[in-house]
Chain A
Amino acid sequence: MRACLVAAAALLLVPARAAAQADSTRPPADSARGARVRDAAAGPAAPAAAHRWELLVGHSYSSARALLQPATLVLEQERDAPLYSVVDAAVLLRGSLQPRAWLEMGLRARAGSARPPAQRAYGAMARLFAHLDPILVAAGYEYLADGHFGVHQSAATLELTPLGGAPGLGTWVSPAVHVRWRPWLGLSWGDGARPYARLAAEAALGRTEAGLEATGWLVKGSGVGFVQGDVSVQLVGGLYLTASGEIGRAPPTFEPCGRVGVGLGFRVAAGF
């Protein structure tokens, strides 16, 4: 007989706007007129830039969508066998450099004893965003290593996305269909140029939200893909139940991998 224990813990710090999404039942504080007067009295300092820097903890810093997925720690135990773990987590610090550009710095880990070392990855990155309407451009540098720290990948990246312009691109398809998507095109320079494309899509229905992120790289003339997805249900307040999975080949080793896990997520705002 086999006994399994799956425990999950997660912490996700998201900006105040994400907390506002969760708090959909809060009544308006006052009338529109009263709010207008308050805005006027607040003067030039409010309400913008209340938080110049923010700290986020989530599943991965690969995209805004990935950070909304809670970081997960899954522990699995079988009788007469060691306790296995799966960790997917990232920390991101971001803030303004100047009015039209901002900086992100992050650390991430795909780890845990249930994963073979070749499938683990540790990374650090810095990314600079520039808003060049109608597109957003991100230039960055990322270091990735496998679980043995035997395979290293250092690469400069340049990626862009259109701010909008197609149905569902960055906004709900319609008021009744809460589905949106965002494409990214990128080029990575490390041991050669490696173009890639990423598609992030998400859906929301009541307390349930789902996300899918697919990335494809051109590696030595052939295509390699990696897909990760999640479904989260809001339990109470900032607490979520999250099921997540991944399949494909992820950098830096591009070893084939696949995983499904269930975890708990917790979201709070952290700006300073």
Chain B
Amino acid sequence: MRRKDERGHWWTDGGVERAVTRIVRRLSPGWERRKIARKTRLHADLGWDEWYVLRVAKPIRATVHVTLDDRALLDLKTVGDLAGSVWSRMAEA
């Protein structure tokens, strides 16, 4: 299945997950790249407080071209939730 971002680019769910994981890794200096995966928890594992998690909105908008609701971001628990939130906001083919 493929979906379209806000600029009309096509993505697969796997492609979205890889892009989101790369963004989370960039925001988590000190962490080994391979230790950040779908099940990694933003708050408990990475220690992102409720405001730090908002930092992810800008690179996601720039890279995956999806605008996320800030309050919805605060509700996310894992990297997988974040990828799923991005994917759910893309338009289906």
Contacts and interface: CB of A to CB of B under 8 A. Distances in A.
Interface of A: 15-18, 20-21, 24, 28, 32, 35-37, 39-40, 42-52, 64, 95-96, 99-102, 131, 133-134, 136, 161, 163-164, 167, 169-175, 178, 180, 182, 204, 271
The 3 closest A-B pairs by CB, nearest first: A172-B47, A170-B52, A48-B72
Contact of A161 (B14, B46, B51): B51
Contact of B75 (A49, A136, A175): A49
A42 B88 contact: yes
Interface residues of B, number: 49
A164 B31 contact: no
Interface string B47-74: 1111110110110000000011111111
B63 to A, nearest CB: 14
10 contacts: A17-B74, A21-B43, A39-B83, A44-B89, A48-B72, A48-B75, A52-B71, A102-B70, A133-B55, A136-B51
A52 B69 CA distance: 11
A178 B44 CA distance: 10
B34 interface: no
A20 B48 contact: no
Contacts of A134: 55
B7 interface: no
A48 to B, nearest CB: 3
Given A39-B83, A42-B84, A20 B77 contact: yes
